[in-house]
Every structure is written in structure tokens, then in C-alpha cells.
Chain A
């Protein structure tokens, strides 16, 4: 990505910074004090609501806890068991990793493409935007499970369509271990509405002047997209990348409703969090589930950290 557009023409619109330095220093100090006021609600929430349960779960990860009273400290046993004595844990890791690596880029590409398309001067834009967002309204409705069966089942819509093209020997997509995860990836891509909306909002923040100036310079549509839109959008792209990655690592609902909570067939859709859920609420092994949760936190943290590390090379903040 080109970084040399860091100061596109037209951004230095406001009054150039003036004022003497001592004045600014006083403001800095005042701001520092003000920062805590701005953070106050969040800090109350963090210490009052969020942090306690998090620390509790960290403690539980070192215990054998069955939810109903039995609780004994077991050190690192849960963590050791995960890697040495649990093939389902390993398979859940692999399923989740595959899901993250395929569905996140696909979903983001779709979302970005559609957002760019729908940001253009197309008549009936509001209508299209709503239509593309519709699937994301469904949330975790059980209706999705039935829908997906109608589409990807043995005699579902997809196979009917492919059959009409003369193809035979079609798999039962939703109930074949090799394909079931694929249908969940499609489901995730299908609900690309959320990142799309965020992209759209990002596109609306790109100052019109930049385009005007570029047009005067004779840039074509692709040139404008590459030189103005993309760099200006990088903070939002970064946000979507990080958040969709976190979401994908924690994917739960899709498999929970479509496989009925089992992660089947043959654990082919057993997401990490679904297995964690089974451990916690079916097997009553909350200690183990907590250990899984904290391991996942570390993994997501590493991925997110990596994203932040690379961001300095490709994410451009106009305000900084």
C-alpha cells in the first residue's frame, strides 16, 4: 500500500496551529486530567462489571470446577490436558483456524467491494444498502438453521440449481464432514452487512475535496480509489480486520444453531468456542473451559498484536 499519500492535497484546510508553547503545556496538563473524566464510565464498567468475572475465570482455569460446588486447585493441569490428552481440542483448533483464514478475507473483500459499489452514484442506493444488510438482521434466529437446510441440504436449492445444469452426484453440503464447514463460511460471508456498513461510514468520512482535487489532476476512478479511498479507509479496514478476526475466532452461533450444538457431523463444524461451551455446560467442566478461554485470549491477542505491529506500515491516520 502506498504511504506517500499520507498528506493528500486539500487536508490542510484549517487555521495553521499557532499559540505559544507554555500555553500549550498548560492545556496538555488540563487535558490529562480531563482524560480521566472521559474515561470514567468505562473505568467504572471495567472494574465494576468486566474485570471481576474475567479474573474469576482466570482463577477457575487453574481449578477443577464443576459449576455445582466442587472446586479444587489443580495448577496447570487443564492447560496440560488440552495439548496432551484431548484430540477434540486439537480438531476444534484446526476447524477454527481454517474458518478464520478463509472466511475473514472473503467477508472483508465482499464487504469492501459492495460498500465501494454502493457508495457510488447509483440510483436506489438506500434500497440496495438495505437489501444487502437484511441477512445481518437475522441474528441468531433458529430460522437460519432451517434456511440453510433448504439451501444446502441434499435436495436443497443449490443442488437443484446444479442439477439443472446437468451435474450429478452432488454432495449433501450441510451433512457431509468435508463440506459442512464450507456452508458455515458461506453463511458468514452472507452476513457481510456489518463490515459493509462500517466501510460505508468510513467512505463517508473521506473529504470530498480530495476527490475534487484528484479529478482536477485527471485521476480516473481506479486511481482515485487507490490513491485516495484506500489510504483514507485504512483505519476502518484495520478495524474490520481486527474485529472480524476476533469474531471468527470466537465463532459460535452459526454452528450452534445449524448443528444443533453438536458441532457435527463428525466434529467438522466444532468451533473452538462451541467445544468450550460443551465443556462448560454439557460436561460441567468449567475449569477446563476457562483454561480454553484464556488460551484463546492469548492466541487472539497474538494475532491482534501482529495486526497492530504491521499497522504502522499500512494504516494511515489523517489526524496524526
Chain B
């Protein structure tokens, strides 16, 4: 799955042979690796801290704990009287449903904006972008009142239903940009062959959009998983808490926070995100460059 971009080229064109000079690869690897270390160092520090006793976290800056303990994990796991697995599961359910909602609703809207003609198109597109530009803090209270008036507080509905209504304009715009980059000749060919707009969307556009859909899925999952304010405002039952709300339970800004368990559970909370990313990026790289247009 590596080098799909260059290898065929090299095969077709002997002229490119010099690119195979080993020292270039080594230098490239070196740069990427060095950058990688800078990227992950702070995270390694977090992992190390999770295995340190509370008192060592700030006094012992080393990456290898002087005293190794797993107590932060055992202590953190049950700190709320409910095992953390419950919160992870809750977060997972919300994030998974949100991914589904965003992929469906945003791709539909994006297709209309990118490929179809309709009245007020420009106005609606501008309105869509404008929803991105207003800081959410001022719509927070009206929105809360709205959801409360239909008795949706203390349910997941305020967190997931908007996803099925394409409220996140980021993804619409993202998909619009990707769709506009797809050759229109493909649509026309399909249309000639008798495909209606929905057929074109489903058979041509969606398959070719796989990288963009993967991006939308990754981002939706991660952003929903990490969302703090939504669950904070809408969820009251402890059994329904999501991971970030549960993580907040280690903090006490008026007293002493439990940093050790907080780090330990934070790391466990990143783990699923990392796995989702690893899984989804497979779809990211299997774009049309390797499948569609060959």
C-alpha cells in the first residue's frame, strides 16, 4: 500500500531512475522521523506521567518513570463509581451514530451544491457558510432553550439528531470542494446511460469521494468523541456521561486535582481514536488514484 504514487510512474518512465538514489530516501526518512519525534514527545510525556505516582508527575520530568505504578489506572477506572468502560461505550455510540449522520446528510447537501442547479443556490450556499462564522457561544443558550422545550435534555438527541440534519457545515463545504474537483464528464456519461441525479450521486460521486468521506468520518468521530460542552449541558445522568465529562471529574480547580488518574484515563480515551484513525485511513489512501480512474 506504500508508494502507489511513485512506483507506477517509475515503471513507466525509466528516466526517473535517479529518484531511487538511496541517500535521498535516508534523508527523507530522517526528516520525517525527527519531525515525528517532536510531534509525539509531549504525548510520550503524558504516557510516562500516567505510570508515575502523583507526587512524581511534576518533579520527575523524565520519560522513564523512576517509580513505576499502574495505580492511576486502577484508581481512575472506578473513580466515579461506574467503570470507565461505560463512558467509553457511551462516547463510542454517540460518535458512531454521528459519523453515520454526517456522512449521509452532508454528502446529500454537498451534492446539491456541487452538481445541481436550483433557485437561491448562491444565497443558500452563503447561508451555509455563515452558520460556520458565528461563534457558538451566543447560540448556546437559545439552542439549549430549544432542545429543552421539546424535552430533549438528558438524552443523546441534542448530540446526534443535528448530525442527521447536516448542521455541521464544515463537512458540506469539504465535500463540495472535493466533488467540484471530480471530472463532470463522468456524470454526463452516466446521465447519458440513463442515470438520474440520485443514480449519479450513488454510483459515481460517492464511490469517487471515498477519501473525502474518510476524512469526514475521521473528523466527525474524533470531534464528537472529544466534545465537552454538548454533553456537559445536556447530559445529567451519570450512566450517560461521555468520556470527556468523566475526565473532568478528576479536576478540581478549587482544590487539588487528581492528575495521575486524569492522565491515565486520558490515554485510554485517546486509544480508541487512534484505532479509528488507523482503520479509517486505509480508506483515505485508497482513493481514485488507485482504483477509480485506472
Contact = CB atoms under 8 A, between A and B. Distances in A.
Interface string A290-320: 1011101100110010000000000001111
Given A32-B117, A135-B39, A53 B212 contact: no
A128 B270 contact: no
Nearest to A212: B12
B142 A53 contact: yes
Nearest to B109: A42
A121 B179 CA distance: 26
A209 B293 contact: yes
B94 interface: no
A201 B289 CA distance: 10
Contact of B183 (A49, A120, A318): A318
A198 B61 contact: no
Interface string A118-132: 111111111011111
B135 A293 contact: yes
Interface stretch (B67-75, B81-89, B160-168): B160-168
Interface SS of chain A: helix
A204 B286 CA distance: 7
A218 interface: yes
A280 B219 CA distance: 29
A79 interface: no
A319 B184 contact: yes
A246 to B, nearest CB: 6
A130 B281 contact: yes
A132 B35 contact: yes
A235 B212 CA distance: 12
Contacts of A16: 185
The CB with the most chain B CB atoms within 10 A, among A141, A211, A289, is that of: A141
Contacts of A31: 116-117, 197
A52 B165 CA distance: 15
B173 interface: yes
Contacts of A123: 2-3, 29
B181 A38 contact: no
B166 A137 contact: no
Contacts, number: 342
A5 interface: no
Interface SS of chain B: helix
Interface string A244-285: 001001101000000010000000000001001100110000
B198 A41 contact: no
Interface in B152-205: 162, 164-167, 170, 172-174, 177-186, 188-189, 191-192, 196-198, 201
B182 to A, nearest CB: 5
B247 interface: yes
A119 B5 CA distance: 7
A252 to B, nearest CB: 8
Nearest to B270: A137
A46 interface: yes
Contacts of B256: none
B284 A197 contact: yes
B188 to A, nearest CB: 5
A40 B211 CA distance: 25
Nearest to B14: A215
A137 B277 contact: yes
A319 B262 contact: no
Contact of A301 (B130, B174, B181): B130
B80 interface: no
Interface string A95-128: 0000000000000000000100111111111101
A301 B133 contact: yes
B3 A38 contact: no
A211 B9 contact: yes
Given A18-B192, A130-B281, A319-B180, A273 B289 contact: no
Top 5 A-B residue pairs of the complex, sorted by shortest distance between their CB atoms = A121-B3, A45-B165, A204-B287, A139-B226, A201-B211
Interface of B: 1-9, 12-13, 15-16, 19, 25, 28-29, 31-33, 35-36, 39-43, 45-46, 61, 104-106, 108-109, 111-112, 114, 116-119, 124, 127-135, 137-139, 141-143, 146, 162, 164-167, 170, 172-174, 177-186, 188-189, 191-192, 196-198, 201, 208, 211-212, 214-215, 218-219, 222-223, 225-226, 228, 244, 247, 251, 253, 259, 262-263, 266, 270, 273-274, 277-278, 281, 284-290, 292-294
9 contacts: A46-B165, A46-B167, A125-B1, A125-B285, A203-B5, A204-B286, A246-B133, A276-B135, A317-B180
